[in-house]
Structure 1
């Protein structure tokens, strides 16, 4: 978890200088909001929220992002996609693997057993599995015959899986924290605020969901404005911060730096085996030693093979950035038709890139000078 002190929330801080907050502070905030939600749920005795439930959900909230690589989503998103390996590994997979690794530590086990089952091995293991399940819960929790699939908690406590990572509607403590934190640190005023959050939490009820056949966390209709404000705020942050034209350009430049360094930059484990940046997750001892400082490692290197990678980072530092010459907006995730449109737009952009490079060869323009993002 301490490693996350050196893993920022992407490259936003290059454009919004005050947004230097890290995954560490986000995880702490997520855990704090989780405590507020659990207090609300515990007030309803019929839900039977136990102290073990509280500890498990709190640990899941605190550790939900420990699997993030350098520069957070940039690593398992654009970087892996650029290598043609999108989906091969995700930060959720990393978080689960690291948690299993932590749980094997004898000191950690001794401490956890005091709260999660004591000498009852079956109970203890079930609690650990519950923590891991909450990192990325199953989208369908009922099997073909209507059987309950998760093993950490019985179906009567299905609502607990909505707290950290809500796969059904996205209303979870992770989103509550990052929207409030990112807006504050980026300097953007949004409709959703701390008072909105408390009002939403205080309205929580657990009700059966006829469509899914399980009990879920629900919110009172009187908080509809607050929930709409949350959605609006998320849209504002994506449009004006996360997808800011300079942010996504710098993202692309960092990815190019990573790719340029990939054949020449490796990290050695205790056995003497070397792992390139794109495969550090194959050894979690190596993974835990890598954070955002990898950029400084590249920048400060004098190795000639890293000259190209250093060039990208130097351009970022000197603000020698490409200018946008064309922009097409679409929503490729809504349905198949729009996904096809998105693919077509990308192909058009690639064609434009090829033409620009071809027509500007006499001026020394290369593929590296034109970005399709």
Structure 2
């Protein structure tokens, strides 16, 4: 029998060559569950605002694994003991941390699949893979779900300064062209250390940490929560809401088998059957469905689908105050008259909501600076930048979306 020579390198536009550390990681990357991430856009509908943002969860997962290799190397150099088994588990945990994302990542997380978030689905994928790989993922799973005694290992996977954030800020900055997120991830990793079983940063890296937190805040307001991208995601959510409503009324819609399973699904129990269908669901199922629905006899589904495909998105007002009922009703009345639909269906085209941004949560898990004498200080307290303390406060903005004037 012919044996395949296993690929050991990926050429990444951010870091250069990424090395696959061992055969287990290679086999996980080759698995159909992981290959699906090639078809899951990292930034949802943001490509409608930033044309270059077509990178995928596959790119991101490999980048995170690369940074984890750097982190392990740095910590070992500083005499932090990490066994071979723990090292492999870290690589597996960070590689698979986003494997549970659905189509367009966060955009449809709580609408297409209800009752479960992507972290829980990631865990179910990992448990399924663990059975296929003779329980070799057991340690990785315990690190991922924070049940492993050495807590700093989990913080490398999921924390305030984890490999996930260090990659996505730099990667999303690169692909969107938004320089605000271009952090120095290698500098931050080189300053990592461990104290009292907690991941810390050496105090001389305080300005790099400040830059990281400010970059995170700016990327959220200017990119992740960009009002046009926000509107596009909300329209996509409403397309699927309408599709579910029509199916419940007995309408037969065109959709792939995995997508139809979730459009018809009533139970919020995410069992093995749901996992099987989810493993075949990606961005292409949604786009294919939109193309089929853009000529549907239902005017609402038809118009919403075309709004996404043609990038004919609603006008968005993003303000500090919540819009009044009178403001919302004014636009709903216009839509009802212009489109000839009853008032109780205008919520598909006129809608409001809110978004929040908090760059640093010092109430749950701090980023502590380690001084030469061993003292630990929270970065917000140690910083001489007044705006860093402001980043610990949650900022809320309210949005109102409604069709542009040409549709009235």
Determine if the TM-score, normalized by the shorter chain, exceeds 0.5: yes
**Which consecutive unaligned segments of at least 5 residues does structure 2 have?**
1-33, 248-252, 341-345, 354-408
- 2:181 and 2:335 mapped to 1: Cα distance? 46
Residue 202 of structure 1 aligns with which residue?
Answer: 190
Picking from 114, 135, 141, the partner of 2:144 is 135
* TM-score, length basis structure 1: 0.73
Please state if 1:261 is matched with 2:295. no
- 1:276 and 1:323 mapped to 2: Cα distance? 28
- 2:264 and 2:191 mapped to 1: Cα distance? 45
Matches within 5 A, 1:117-128: 128=137
Please state if 1:312 is matched with 2:310. no
Picking from 84, 94, 115, the partner of 2:121 is 94
Distance 1:190 1:69, change over 3 A: same
Please state if 1:284 is matched with 2:284. no
Q: CA deviation at 1:329?
A: 2.5
Please state if 1:173 is matched with 2:155. no
Residue 12 of structure 1 aligns with which residue?
Answer: 46
Please give the per-residue CA displacement for 1:103-143, whole angstroms capped at 9, x wherever unaligned. 111xx22xx75xxxxxxxxxxxxxx3432233343xxxxxx
SS class of match (2:315): coil
Please give the per-residue CA displacement for 1:149-172, whole angstroms capped at 9, x wherever unaligned. x2x3x3xx3221210101xxx110
CA contact (8 A) 2:37 2:99 kept: yes
SS class of match (1:11): helix
- 1:292 and 1:42 mapped to 2: Cα distance? 40
Distance 1:360 1:25, change over 3 A: closer
Please give the per-residue CA displacement for 1:199-239, whole angstroms capped at 9, x wherever unaligned. 2211122112xxxxxx1111111111111111111111111
CA contact (8 A) 2:39 2:282 kept: yes
Q: CA deviation at 1:260?
A: 1.5
CA contact (8 A) 2:89 2:139 kept: yes
- 2:155 and 2:185 mapped to 1: Cα distance? 16
Q: CA deviation at 1:182?
A: 0.4
Q: CA deviation at 1:363?
A: 3.5
Distance 1:359 1:199, change over 3 A: closer
CA contact (8 A) 1:74 1:255 kept: yes
Matches within 5 A, 1:218-257: 218-257=200-239
Residue 402 of structure 2 aligns with which residue?
Answer: none
Distance 1:8 1:281, change over 3 A: farther
Residue 91 of structure 2 aligns with which residue?
Answer: 58
- 1:74 and 1:299 mapped to 2: Cα distance? 15
SS class of match (1:177): helix
Please state if 1:160 is matched with 2:153. yes
Please give the per-residue CA displacement for 1:299-340, whole angstroms capped at 9, x wherever unaligned. 23268477643432312232322223x43237xxxxxxxxxx
Residue 340 of structure 1 aligns with which residue?
Answer: none
Distance 1:240 1:280, change over 3 A: farther
* TM-score, length basis structure 2: 0.67
- 2:350 and 2:235 mapped to 1: Cα distance? 11
- 1:349 and 1:65 mapped to 2: Cα distance? 38
SS class of match (1:327): strand
Q: CA deviation at 1:258?
A: 1.3
Residue 318 of structure 2 aligns with which residue?
Answer: 327
Residue 17 of structure 2 aligns with which residue?
Answer: none
SS class of match (2:314): coil
CA contact (8 A) 1:350 1:372 kept: no
Distance 1:33 1:372, change over 3 A: same
